[in-house]
Structure 1
Amino acid sequence: MTQAVDVVVIGGGQSGLAAGYHLRRLGLDFVILDAQLTPGGAWRHTWDSLHLFSPAAYSSLPGRLMPPQPGETYPDAAHVVSYLSDYEQRYDLPVHRPVRVTGVHRDGELLRVETDSGTWRTQAVVSATGTWSRPFVPAVPGRTEFWGAQLDTVEYRSPSDFTGRKVIVVGGGNSGAQIAADLAYGSDLTWVTLREPRYLADDIDGRALFDHATARRRALDDGRTDTGGVASLGDIVAVPPVRAARDAGLLKAQPMFDRLTPTGVAWSDGLTAEADAIIWCTGFRPALSHLAPLGLRGLRGHIPTTGTRATGEPRLHLLGYGDWTGPASATLIGVGRPARDAARQIAGLLR
């Protein structure tokens, strides 16, 4: 079955919903195709203790403030899922699920979106599939030799699964620090990072990070000196659980090991550590396989963009993958402005 629509949005998480909000305000005919069974995007698949970096009012999509969560300064993931579900219903966004997009193709003056439930022909596509479905694990020697369990960030749920076990957490970013803090009390934890952990000042949360990312983008747009963005401040937001474990002396990072062994890991100086499980918190890659037929991929797997628009295909916009598709666009509060800009450019294209 083939259907026609002005715009197809691929992905029904926070970025896809923000795009839908602005497309609806502009009166465009669109659909949102989401591979998930239910609303909430990647927030449905996080570990149990995950909380936002910012208060609810500073973690909102366009048009609708996130209500505070009773008893919590920083809302948890379940609260975000409820908010996104309500947002989708409040604005009556046309989300089709579960629909998995298999490929986007050029089709004359249109784009053809192939899915597991039919085909859509459209004048513009917004890709908003995020990164959560593509965790990255480095090619460390010996990975196939290790006898224990290996998980990535997406697969971790609760410290109760590792009580009393020897666990190595790999990664010096927010996920690595938060999962290490989660495991620091009931497990025999070894935390491994590529470089010495860089904590942001304790009073910095998502509000300040968004302001900093926005200031950097304005400076670059004006031709002024690059401020370095959020990365210049540090790698780890000192959320309360991380701060507590750090201050208790439970987060002492070891340098990156050189190889895995059948029973753990080893360093080049002869030091070894045994492990029952290794949790890889080593980042993500953009989920862009559905765009492969367009032949647009550039360095590091990114598609070159001007703002959110693909430079090699003006009918395609990318939203929410990171700063290369808009400052702080991978965050709830940060995705609103790039989504608005993408919707306006699409409306101009259609006119």
Structure 2
Amino acid sequence: MKFAAQRVLGCDLHVWTAHTGLDTAPIGRFLSRPPAQPALDDGRYRAALAAGRPDRRPIFTGADGARLVWPAGQREKADAIVLATGYRPDLPCLAGLDGALDADGNPRHREGLATGVQGLAFVGPEWQRSLSSNSLRGVGRDAERIARRLAAQLARQ
């Protein structure tokens, strides 16, 4: 995992990306392979991971009531589960749709609309349209755009 400073020149990095327009600049279409985005950190996350906090493990394989089932079969009570932005797509359900995924299992799309499957769209991939596409700051904007474009596609049919 790569880390980047949360604050640059006294301001939160998100302020800089919003102020400069990088947050919304539609440059994702020019990237053949999006660069991995680092975790923004003031040093606390890196220190916590180095010290073994939080208890980092592979994702659970199932749930049984309020208990998670881990790969080795053990069960553990969970009060809450939060699946946050920033994870990689895992879309085996689309493997049968010719042209939906590339050889690495990533969505084939142009600004969120699938390039090989009519009526299929994605929201949340890194650099879908911009730097903020895979974050809560940008996913809503991209979702609105996808909804408009899909509606236009359907109206033309």
**Distance in structure 1 (CA, Å) of the matches to 2:93 and 2:112:** 17
Q: CA RMSD in A?
A: 3.9
Q: What's 1:333 paired with?
A: 137
Asked if structure 1 preserves the Cα contact closer than 8 Å seen for 2:90 and 2:105, the reply is: no
What residue identity is the alignment partner of 2:39?
I
Instruction: List alignment gaps of at least 5 residues for structure 1.
Output: 1-171, 174-197, 254-274
**TM-score normalised by length of structure 1:** 0.28
Asked if structure 2 preserves the Cα contact closer than 8 Å seen for 1:309 and 1:318, the reply is: yes
- How do 1:199-218 residues align onto structure 2 when only pairs under 5 Å count? 199-200=4-5, 202=7, 203-209=11-17, 211-215=21-25, 217-218=26-27
Q: What's 1:298 paired with?
A: 102
Asked if structure 2 preserves the Cα contact closer than 8 Å seen for 1:305 and 1:311, the reply is: yes
Cα distance, 1:252 vs. partner?
9.5
Instruction: Provide, for residues 113-149 of structure 1, a one-character-per-residue CA deviation record: whole Å limited to 9, x for no partner.
Output: xxxxxxxxxxxxxxxxxxxxxxxxxxxxxxxxxxxxx
Q: What's 2:44 paired with?
A: 242
Q: What's 1:279 paired with?
A: 56
Closer, same or farther: CA 292–332 of 1 in aligned 2, 3 Å: same
**Distance in structure 1 (CA, Å) of the matches to 2:57 and 2:49:** 17
What residue identity is the alignment partner of 2:148?
R
- How do 1:15-94 residues align onto structure 2 when only pairs under 5 Å count? none
Cα distance, 1:199 vs. partner?
2.8
Q: What's 1:21 paired with?
A: none
Instruction: State the structure with more CA Rg.
Output: 1
Instruction: List alignment gaps of at least 5 residues for structure 2.
Output: 59-85
Q: Which of the pair is proportionally richer in strand?
A: 1
Percent identity over the alignment? 24
Ranges of 4+ aligned residues in structure 1 off by more than 6 Å: none
**Distance in structure 1 (CA, Å) of the matches to 2:119 and 2:137:** 25
**Distance in structure 2 (CA, Å) of the matches to 1:206 and 1:335:** 15
Closer, same or farther: CA 236–292 of 1 in aligned 2, 3 Å: closer
Instruction: Provide, for residues 14-50 of structure 1, a one-character-per-residue CA deviation record: whole Å limited to 9, x for no partner.
Output: xxxxxxxxxxxxxxxxxxxxxxxxxxxxxxxxxxxxx
What residue identity is the alignment partner of 2:97?
L
Cα distance, 1:339 vs. partner?
1.4
